[in-house]
């Protein structure tokens, strides 16, 4: 990637080569409003995180609930059995009972957190600075007594008094913590202040590794993480799809891809990101926004005629990186902004070739339609109208059908289901287990309409396979 001052940026490549990814989807991610993973879902997510090469998995806070405890214990057991390689981290308050619970799970590391800003000390803990230092030192030492690695998280570090924060980190380090996480708890750091912040702390309190835990309240988490690594952080906390308290933390997929694009460093197996994205979207019930960078439905969907023409000539004109890097593909929107090159490319993809005069008439008809999205079926209808040719087979008879739908591992089941439910004639869409992902019930007055609906379903972005069954008889109650 060549940009202005890219040579200046490249000097930080060694920092990004050695940075570790800590995924906190199972702990921070489950703190997303409305999210609650089952134990089996957590085990499956942990295996997939390990499969792509995440360095550390924060498996949960065992003292929160029995199922959280059991999930952490079983993930730690998977590590001992050699099923996963990532370091397993158990979260804990600076309380002995929490630490005892975390130790019982036999996780590799116990991560103790305590608020260190005056806001947290006064409003939440109701402790003086000196009392807090005593608690931090005592609890880190207590956890270390279990013979495990210990991380201390300085909660709200980005709003703490800097000199006091130095005392906090020294206390944790001297008590046995080999890692200290500096949390930007309400997301107020910027890339520049994050870099300066970590440069200062690394110099002021050496001989300890620093993590960045950046929240996304102002939309700065990813950029803040970059600044922190440039300043000396050696681990970045992330979650799949950016889940977490309020608006979440650094999205794993965005951080990993950004590091690859800017430094050509592949921290995790990028080809596995979309399958993980889809898995967590399904289990969390939180759909990825269409316009989310890298993983959203619109990330490689091009609309304006000038853009599509550029993409058809050279995808680099409007793409920072090729979608194939993460196992995705590009597509084009057909609507009033569309140019003739996009229409021609889409028709050819559908196996339809027309001459230039017909192409221009089709384009004029599209622009008059003023539809937000033109489906493949609607485009074919316009092409048939303009050309006067039948471009699909005809059929007759009344019919009702059920369609089993297989969704691409790079697509989002919830998003595909939502789009299917908007098709006229589709009466019901259900997510199912087994070889297929969705079950669609269709009612049509005849085979012609059914075939039109089926063409729309099969041509929908994100669908890789269907199996259709015609309903012969129905037993009504």
| Secondary structure letter of residue 236 according to DSSP | E
Which residue among 55, 120, 307, 447 is the active-site one? 307
Contact 193, 164 (CB under 8 A): no
| Residue 281 contacts residue 45 (beta carbons within 8 Å) | no
301-387 maps to CATH 3.30.450.20: no
| Cα maximum dimension of the chain | 85
50: CB partners within 8 A, 6+ apart: 57, 84, 85, 86
**How far is residue 389's CA from residue 248's CA, in Å, rounded to a whole number?**
53
Question: Please, how many CA atoms are within 13 Å of residue 94, restricted to the half-sphere of its CB?
Answer: 22
Asked if residue 87 belongs to a known ligand binding site, the reply is no
Out of 3.30.460.80, 2.40.50.100, 3.40.50.720, 3.30.70.920, the CATH code matching 399-471 is 3.30.70.920
185 annotated as ligand-binding: yes
Architecture of domain 17-284: Alpha-Beta Barrel (3.20)
* Cα 391 to Cα 421: distance, rounded to the nearest angstrom: 26
120 is catalytic: no
Scan for tokens 């997301």, then name that residue. Answer: 187
Domain boundaries, the chain: 17-284, 301-387, 399-471
Q: Is 18 labelled a binding residue?
A: no
- Whether 358 has a binding-site annotation, put simply, is no
Burial classification of residue 154, based on how many CB atoms lie within 10 Å of its CB (0-12 exposed, 13-18 middle, 19 or more buried): buried
Residue-level pLDDT, tens digit, the chain, 477 residues: 778 898 899 999 999 999 999 999 999 999 999 999 999 999 999 999 999 999 999 999 999 999 999 999 999 999 999 999 999 999 999 999 999 999 999 999 999 999 999 999 999 999 999 999 999 999 999 999 999 999 999 999 999 999 999 999 999 999 999 999 999 999 999 999 999 999 999 999 999 999 999 999 999 999 999 999 999 999 999 999 999 999 999 999 999 999 999 999 999 999 999 999 999 999 999 999 999 999 999 999 999 989 999 999 999 999 999 999 999 999 888 888 988 899 998 898 888 889 999 999 999 999 988 877 787 888 888 999 998 888 865 444 578 899 999 998 878 888 899 899 989 889 999 999 888 999 999 998 888 888 889 989 998 888 988 999 988 766 544
Is 213 a known ligand-binding residue?
Answer: yes
Phi then psi for residue 323, to 5 deg, are -60, -25
Same fold, 17-284 and 399-471: no
Gap between the Cα atoms of 342 and 325, Å rounded: 23
């Amino acid at each position: 990637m060549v940009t202005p001052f890219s040579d200046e940026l490249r000097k930080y490549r060694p920092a990004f080569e050695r940075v570790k990814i800590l995924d906190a989807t199972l702990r921070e991610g489950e703190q997303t409003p409305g999210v609650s993973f089952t134990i089996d879902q957590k085990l499956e997510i942990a295996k997939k995180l390990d499969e792509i090469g995440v360095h550390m998995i924060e498996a949960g806070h065992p003292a929160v609930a029995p199922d959280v405890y059991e999930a952490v214990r079983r993930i730690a057991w998977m590590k001992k059995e050699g099923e996963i390689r990532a370091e397993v981290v158990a979260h804990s308050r600076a309380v002995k009972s929490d630490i005892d619970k975390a130790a019982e799970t036999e996780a590799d590391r116990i991560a103790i957190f305590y608020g260190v800003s005056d806001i947290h000390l006064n409003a939440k803990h109701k402790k003086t600075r000196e009392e807090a230092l005593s608690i931090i030192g005592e609890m880190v030492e207590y956890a270390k007594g279990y013979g495990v690695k210990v991380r201390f998280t300085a909660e709200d570090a980005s709003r703490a008094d800097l000199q006091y924060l130095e005392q906090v980190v020294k206390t944790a380090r001297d008590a046995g913590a080999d890692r200290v996480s500096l949390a930007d708890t309400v997301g107020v750091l910027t890339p520049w202040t994050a870099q300066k912040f970590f440069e200062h702390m690394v110099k002021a309190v050496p001989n300890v590794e620093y993590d960045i835990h950046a929240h996304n309240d102002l939309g700065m988490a990813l950029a803040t993480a970059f600044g922190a690594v440039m300043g000396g952080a050696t681990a970045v906390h992330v979650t799949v799809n950016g889940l977490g308290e309020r608006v979440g933390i650094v999205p794993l997929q965005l951080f990993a891809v950004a590091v690859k694009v800017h430094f050509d460093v592949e921290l995790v197996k990028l080809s596995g990101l979309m399958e993980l994205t889809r898995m967590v979207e399904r289990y969390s019930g939180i759909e990825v926004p269409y316009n989310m960078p890298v993983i959203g439905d619109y990330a490689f969907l091009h609309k304006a005629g000038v853009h599509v023409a550029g993409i058809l000539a050279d995808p680099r004109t409007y793409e920072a990186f090729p979608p194939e890097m993460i196992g995705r593909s590009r597509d084009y929107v057909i609507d009033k902004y569309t140019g003739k090159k996009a229409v021609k490319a889409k028709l050819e993809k559908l196996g339809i070739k027309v001459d230039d005069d017909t192409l221009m008439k089709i384009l004029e008809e599209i622009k008059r339609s003023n539809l937000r999205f033109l489906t493949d079926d609607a485009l074919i209808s316009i092409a048939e109208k303009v050309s006067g040719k039948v471009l699909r087979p005809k059929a007759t008879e009344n019919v009702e059908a059920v369609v089993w739908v297989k969704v691409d591992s790079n697509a989002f089941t919830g998003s595909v289901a939502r789009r299917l439910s908007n098709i006229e004639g589709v009466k019901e869409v259900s997510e199912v287990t087994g070889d297929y992902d969705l079950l669609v019930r269709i009612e049509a007055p005849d085979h012609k309409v059914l075939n039109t609906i089926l063409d729309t379903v099969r041509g929908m972005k994100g669908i890789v396979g269907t199996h259709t069954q015609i309903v012969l008889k129905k037993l009504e109650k």
